[in-house]
Amino acid sequence: MVLYVTKYNLPPDKVDEYLQWAPDAMQRMLGAPGIKEVRVYMSVAGESQLIVTYEFESPENWASWGTDAEVQKVILEFFRYALNPKTEIWNSSPLYPEPLRP
């Protein structure tokens, strides 16, 4: 499994515009091949206001999704709204490749 994480803030004067743009942008990203799941989190504490996680079955799926023309368009549009964007890419741990549950 690969987890692609994006953390960012929204400028106060762009929040309403972002809220109009985001639902369509998310659907366009979900329509690209390779993606398994997306989760969006709002900050309770910390530097970033929003964190979005994108899950993929493999690095190849992530690469396929990331090079998709529509995903590239959405990413360029995203930069109109995001302040301090940070991205991280994570792979499964060989020690715990599956989720742990009680």
Alpha-carbon distance of 28 to 42, in angstroms, equals: 21
The two tokens of residue 17 are 């515009």
pTM > 0.75 = yes
The angle formed by the CA atoms of residues 62, 68 and 69, to the nearest 5 degrees, is: 155
The residue type found at 81 is: Y
In the predicted structure, residue 47 carries a pLDDT above the cut 80: no
Model pLDDT, residue 44:
87
| pLDDT tens digits along 8-35 | 999 989 999 999 999 999 999 999 999 9
- Burial (CB < 10 A; 0-12, 13-18, 19+), residue 9, is middle
Helical spans, DSSP H, in 1-102 = 15-30, 59-66, 69-78
- Per-residue pLDDT, averaged over 83-97, amounts to 93
